[in-house]
Amino acid sequence: MSHDYHGEGNIKVAFFLNLGFTVVETLGGLYTNTLAVLSDALHDLGDGLSLGLSWYFERLSKKERTESFSYGYQRFSLLGAVINAVIILITQVRNCFSLNLRT
């Protein structure tokens, strides 16, 4: 059974939309001197970096096999997902510890 998945184009569109929105939001936050808008822009930048990482590894997974990677690069898209999950996990643990320090 074959499963054809063409999600690379969707990730690319989401990445560039998020990046554009981040730039607009940063400029708007600086213009209005609003910390809430700037912090949301920083959050969107993190989302954009995550999408960019996923897009990069998805493209890398399309490469043909070589001598050093005899089974090819297909698992690199999974590596991108694992890296994103680890970053989210570390961020959440850090947030929990910082909340405990405040109480």
Along the 103 residues of the chain, how does pLDDT read in single tens digits?
Answer: 555 556 667 888 999 999 999 999 999 999 999 999 999 999 899 889 988 998 898 888 888 888 887 777 888 888 888 988 888 888 888 878 877 666 5
Residue 3 falls inside a structural domain: no
- Taking a C-beta distance cutoff of 8 angstroms, is the pair 91, 46 a contact? no
**For residue 82, what are the domain limits?**
8-102
Structure letter (DSSP) for residue 80: H
Q: What is the pLDDT of residue 16?
A: 94
The CA distance from 50 to 12, in Å, is 12
Residue 2 lies in a domain: no
Domain count of the fold of the chain: 1
**Domain assignment present for 66:** yes
Alpha-carbon dihedral of residues 27, 28, 34, 38, nearest 10 degrees?
-50
Q: What is the pTM of this model?
A: 0.74
